[in-house]
Amino acid sequence: MKFFDLMRLFAAPRPICEPGRVADADDLAALHAHAFRHGWPSTEMEALISDPTVTTVVAREGRTPFTRRPIGFVMTRAAADEAEVLTVVVSPARRGRGVGRLMMDETIRRLYFMRIASLFLEVDENNDSALTLYRRLGFREVGRRANYYAGGTANALVMRADLK
């Protein structure tokens, strides 16, 4: 066996993106609770995953289908030909490695095939990693909600990406 083949055996496998399942509810609630002060309980996650207007894309890591665990997820809700991002989360230990980009690319691909024309989101203007991610994906600022986050001390940017 060549050296590089051997290295591949020990290298961490790349995460894969799949649709969310009801069985993911506890893991997604835990990921969400790490990132946001107002967590969503598992029961709410279950309801969102089961909602036909909600698209849930989960990034999973692990060597086999049996050991793969969620390390991040994106949820969007569609209405007519528009959709909004409900949440985007990557496990703190996995940030800055392209997982957010991978999940958003997969989400946008799915929404495109659902004939969604525009995707909206709100983001704290001080959230540099999220802003970089969204701008790279083609989101542009279309509005601003003053004093929306952090007890009224941070503004929210409203952003839109045209998918068609």
Ligand X SMILES: CC(C)(COP(=O)(O)OP(=O)(O)OC[C@H]1O[C@@H](n2cnc3c(N)ncnc32)[C@H](O)[C@@H]1OP(=O)(O)O)[C@@H](O)C(=O)NCCC(=O)NCCS
Chain residues in the site for ligand X (CB under 6 A):
35, 88-90, 95-101, 123, 127-130, 132-133, 136
As measured in angstroms, the least distance from the Cβ of 99 to ligand X is 4
Cα–Cα distances in angstroms (integers) from residue 36 to residues 31, 82, 118, 154, in the given order = 9, 25, 26, 15
Closest approach, Cβ 124 to ligand X, in A, equals 7
Q: Which residues pair with 58 in a beta bridge?
A: 18, 73
- Between 127 and 155, CB nearer to ligand X: 127
Residue nearer to ligand X on the CB measure, 68 or 95? 95
**Residue (75 or 89) nearer to ligand X, CB:** 89
CA distance 64 to 55: 24
**Nearest distance from C-beta of residue 130 to ligand X, angstroms:** 4
CA distance 3 to 13: 17
